[in-house]
Amino acid sequence: MSEGAHLRQPEAGQPDASHKAILYLEGLNVSFDGFKAINDLTLYIDSGELRCIIGPNGAGKTTMMDIITGKTRPNSGQAWFGQTVDLLKLSEPEIANAGIGRKFQKPTVFESHSVAENLELAMHGNKSVWYSLRARLSGEQQALIDATLHTIGLTDHYHQQAGALSHGQKQWLEIGMLLVQKPHLLLVDEPVAGMTHQEMERTAELLTSLAGKHSVVVVEHDMDFVRSIANKVTVLHQGSVLAEGTMDDVQNDQRVIEVYLGE
Amino acid sequence: MFITRILQNDRGGQIMLAVLALVLVLVPVLNLLVPEGNFLHMPTYLVTLLGKYLTYALLAVAVDLVWGYLGILSLGHGAFFALGGYAMGMYLMRQIGDRGVYGNANLPDFMVFLNWKELPWFWQGFDMFWFAMLMVLLVPGLLAFVFGWLAFRSRVTGVYLSIITQALTYALLLAFFRNEMGFGGNNGLTDFKDILGFSLQSDNTRMTLFVLSGLALAGGYLLCRYIINSKLGRIVVAIRDAESRTRFVGYRVEHYKVWVFTVSAMLAGVAGALYVPQVGIINPGEFSPLNSIEIVIWVAIGGRATLYGAVLGAILVNYAKTVFTGLMPESWIFMLGALFVLVTLYLPQGLAGLVQQFQAKGWLQRRAAA
C-alpha cells in the first residue's frame, strides 16, 4: 500500500478508492448496428492520476466516456467508480452527483445564461426541484464562483452572456463548470481544440494542478499538448487498449507507430 | 415588497400589470356606476367578453411557461383548460338542482334523458364548491403529472412530444363526445343558473367573475415570473438550451419537466374554470386539437419566453377574432394562418420582440426627445 492510501479512507460522498484505483473498466463491449465501437476494453485509472488517452478517429474514446457517464450502456462488461459504485446501474445525473464530471468535445455551456450563472448551475449541492425553487446563493458559494472565475480568467466577464464568449473562453468556462461541480474524477474531451498556443499552455497548467486532488482523464489529439501534461498515456485502437505507458514508451511502440503515430 | 422584487427587471410585466389594474378599476366603474344610456356606459356583454379574453390570457401564460422557457411545444394545453372547465361545469350543473327541465333534484337533465337512475361516482362531491375547486386544480394537474412522467422519463422530445400532446387532447375529445362518459356528450354542460347562490345572469356576478379572471391572470403571471426568476427557472432554461449538458451537471431533467408541466396544466385548469361560468357552456369542442394550436399561435404572435407577450398575443388575437368572425366568418381561419406564417418569418420574437428591438435601437427614446 502506498503511503497516502490510509488517508483516502472511504467517507460519505467520496468514492472508495482504497484499492488505489478510482475507475475500473473491465471487459467492456459496445456495438452499434454490428460495428464494435468498444471491444473487450479493460482500463484502470488510479486515484489522483492524470491520464491521457489518445487514439485515431473511431478508436472508441468518446464512446468510452459515454459509458462512464451513463449516456451509453455497454452490451457486456463492468464499470465501477471506486470499490462500491456500479456505474452501469446509475443514470447520468446520479453519476454526476456521485462525483464524475465531464467536459464535452464541443464546448457546451448554457448560452443564454451569464458566465456566473453557468457556474451557479453547475455547482455541487442539492439538485432537487423544490430546493431549487427557493435556493439562494450563499456567501460560500459566491466565493467559490469568484475564485473559479479567477482561476479560469473570466472575472471580467461575470455578467456576460455565455453565448457571446469566444471559443477558447467557452472551453475555459466549461472547465470552470467542472471545477465547481467538485468531482473526484474529471473526464475532459479535447480541452484544447481551437485554442491558441498561449491558451493551450494555461490549460496544461490548470489540468496538471488539478491532478492529485482529483483524478483526471484527458482525451486529446494534440500530441504536443499530451506530451506536456501526461506521465502516463493509454492508446486506444479499434475499441481496446493497444498500449499503455509513458509518452516515450508509447511513441516507440511498433504497433502504435503503425496504427497512429506513423501515419 | 414581494411583488416589486418579482417584477424587478421585468419592464413589460410592470406595464402589463399596471394596465390590467387600471382595467380592473375602470370597467366596473363604466359598467356599474355610469348609467345606461350614457355613451360612456359599458354594456355587460362587453364585460363578459373581456373576462373571456383574460382567461385566454392566463391560458397563454401557462403555455408560454412550458414552451418559451422549458422548450416543450405542447399542442394539447386546451385539454387541461377544458378539464378545469368541466370541473367547474359539474359544480354549476349540480347547482341547478330541481330547476332543470325534468325537475330532478339529484340528476342533471341529460342523465334523466339517458334514463340514468343515480349519479355516477365521479359526480359525487361536485355539489360542494370547495371540492369542485380542488378538482379544477387536481384533475388537470394529475393528468399532466402522469402524462409528463411517462413521456419525459422515456425522453420523448421535440416534435414527437408535440404530436403525442395532440393525440392526448384528441383522445379526450372523442371520449367526451360519448354519452356513456357521463359528461353530457355532444352538448356538454350548459343551462347554468347560479354560482354560490348568485345568479349567473346578474350584472354583479358577471362583474365579479371578470374581476376574478383579472386577479387570476395577475396571480398566474406573478407565479410564473417567480418561478422563472428562481434558480429553478435558470435550470429550466438550461434544459431548454442544452438538455443533456444539464443532465451531466447532475439535474434530473425529467423531474423538472414534470414539475413545470404540471404547474402549467393547473394554471390552464384555473383559466378553464373561470371561462366556463362566463361563456355559460362547456362542451367537447374545447378539446379540439385546433384550439390547442390556436393557443400556441397567440403565444408566438405575442412573443415567446416573455410571459407578458403571451398576454398581449392572446388578447389581441382574440379581439381580432371577435371582430373578423363578425365581419367575414369564413376568412378568419385563413387570416390566423397567414398571421402565424408572417410572424414566424418576419417577427420571430413576436410583438414583444418588436418592442425590445425598438428599445435597443433607441427609437423610442429619440422619438420621445423629438
The total of structural domains in chain B comes to 1
For the stretch B115-126, pLDDT in tens is: 999 999 999 999
For the stretch A221-238, pLDDT in tens is: 888 889 888 789 999 999
Confidence band, pLDDT 50/70/90 cuts, at residue A104:
confident
For the stretch A185-200, pLDDT in tens is: 999 998 888 888 888 8
How confident is the model at residue A7, as a pLDDT?
A: 38
Please give the mean pLDDT across all residues of chain B. 93
Please give the mean pLDDT across all residues of chain A. 88
B358 versus B196: the higher-pLDDT residue is B196
Q: What is the mean pLDDT of residues B55-84?
A: 97
Can you name the CATH fold of A3-106+183-261? Answer: Rossmann fold (3.40.50)
- Whether A121 sits inside 8 A of B255 (CB atoms) is no
Q: State whether residue A134 sits within 8 Å of chain B by CB.
A: yes
CB contacts, 8 Å: A104 with chain B: 245, 248
**In whole angstroms, what separates CA A200 from the centre of its chain?**
17
Q: Residues 153..192 of A with a Cβ closer than 8 Å to B: which?
A: 177, 181
- Whether A121 sits inside 8 A of B252 (CB atoms) is no
Give how far Cα A60 sits from Cα of A106, A224, A238, A242, A247, Å. Answer: 17, 21, 7, 12, 20
- Whether A122 sits inside 8 A of B241 (CB atoms) is no
Q: Which domain holds residue B204?
A: 2-369
How confident is the model at residue B250, as a pLDDT?
A: 93
**What is the residue whose three cell numbers read 355559460?**
B280
Per the CB < 8 A criterion, the answer to whether A74 and A27 are in contact is: no
Of B232, B242, B251, which is closest to A93 when you measure between CB atoms?
B251
For the stretch B65-74, pLDDT in tens is: 999 999 999 9
- Whether A128 sits inside 8 A of B256 (CB atoms) is no
How confident is the model at residue B37, as a pLDDT?
A: 86
Confidence band, pLDDT 50/70/90 cuts, at residue B365:
low
**What is the residue whose three cell numbers read 350614457?**
B38
Give how far Cα B348 sits from Cα of A224, B294, B302, B343, B367, Å. Answer: 46, 17, 10, 6, 25
Neighbouring residues of B258: CB distance < 8 A, sequence distance ≥ 6: B144, B145, B148, B149, B152
Q: Residues 199..228 of B with a Cβ closer than 8 Å to A: which?
A: 227
Q: Check whether B48 has a pLDDT greater than 60.
A: yes
For the stretch A4-62, pLDDT in tens is: 443 333 334 677 777 788 999 999 999 988 889 999 999 999 998 999 999 888 889 98
Determine the residue of chain A that is closest to B153 in CA distance: A91
How confident is the model at residue A19, as a pLDDT?
A: 75
Alpha helices in chain A (DSSP H): 61-68, 92-98, 115-122, 129-134, 139-151, 167-180, 197-210, 223-229, 247-252, 254-256
Q: Give the ipTM of the model, two decimals please.
A: 0.88
A119 versus A191: the higher-pLDDT residue is A119
First-residue to last-residue Cα distance in chain B: 36
Q: What is the DSSP string of B232-271?
A: HHHHHHHHHH-HHHHHHHT--HHHHHHHHHHHHHHHHHHH
- Whether B242 sits inside 8 A of A134 (CB atoms) is no
**What is the residue whose three cell numbers read 388537470?**
B140
- Whether B231 sits inside 8 A of A132 (CB atoms) is yes
Share of chain B above pLDDT 90, in %: 84
**What is the residue whose three cell numbers read 413545470?**
B260
- Whether B250 sits inside 8 A of A108 (CB atoms) is no
A12 burial level (CB within 10 Å; 0-12, 13-18, 19+): exposed
How confident is the model at residue B298, as a pLDDT?
A: 96
B25 versus A258: the higher-pLDDT residue is B25
Of B230, B238, B244, which is closest to A133 when you measure between CB atoms?
B230
- Whether A129 sits inside 8 A of B237 (CB atoms) is no
B105 versus B207: the higher-pLDDT residue is B207
Per the CB < 8 A criterion, the answer to whether B253 and B243 are in contact is: yes
Kindly report the nearest CA distance between residue B102 and chain A, in angstroms. 50
Q: In this structure, is the dihedral angle defined by the CA atoms of residues B253, B256, B260 and B266, taken in order, positive or negative? A: positive
Q: Check whether A65 has a pLDDT greater than 80.
A: yes
Share of chain A above pLDDT 70, in %: 94
How confident is the model at residue A160, as a pLDDT?
A: 95
Q: Check whether B338 has a pLDDT greater than 60.
A: yes
How confident is the model at residue A224, as a pLDDT?
A: 84
